[in-house]
């Protein structure tokens, strides 16, 4: 199942900067592993925001929930999830 996930990050200014840098590095490593596995298929930065739009390819809603809540920066995120379906006019066979 494909999902478009919009993530907006908001970290309090009072949050420890060293801890934030550690969390960002941990998240980057975790994210890249999910990309290698094919679960996190695409990511785009939203210009002018500390935000991204991503495409996930997972087996079900529960798997996506577990992946998102397992992100180190999850406590600082506002997330919007949109399920996607293959468009019948798509020329790409991997748009399942």
The CATH T-level fold of domain 2-84 is Alpha-Beta Plaits (3.30.70)
**Tens of pLDDT along 25-81?**
999 999 999 999 999 999 999 999 999 999 999 999 999 999 999 999 999 999 999
Residue 7 CB burial class (10 angstroms; 0-12, 13-18, ≥19): buried
Joined together, the tokens standing for residue 56 give 């996930």
**Taking the model in full, what pTM does it have?**
0.89
**Is-contact 55 2, C-beta < 8 A?**
yes
Task: Identify the residue with better confidence: 91 or 11.
Answer: 11
């Amino acid at each position: 199942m494909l999902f478009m996930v919009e993530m907006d990050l908001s970290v309090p200014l009072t949050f420890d900067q060293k801890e934030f840098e550690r969390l960002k590095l941990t998240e980057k490593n975790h994210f890249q592993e999910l990309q290698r596995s094919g679960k996190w298929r695409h990511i785009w930065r939203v210009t002018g925001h500390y935000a991204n739009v991503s495409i996930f390819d997972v087996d079900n809603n529960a798997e996506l929930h577990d992946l998102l809540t397992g992100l180190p920066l999850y406590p600082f995120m506002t997330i919007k999830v949109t399920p996607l379906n293959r468009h019948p006019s798509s020329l790409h066979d991997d748009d399942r």
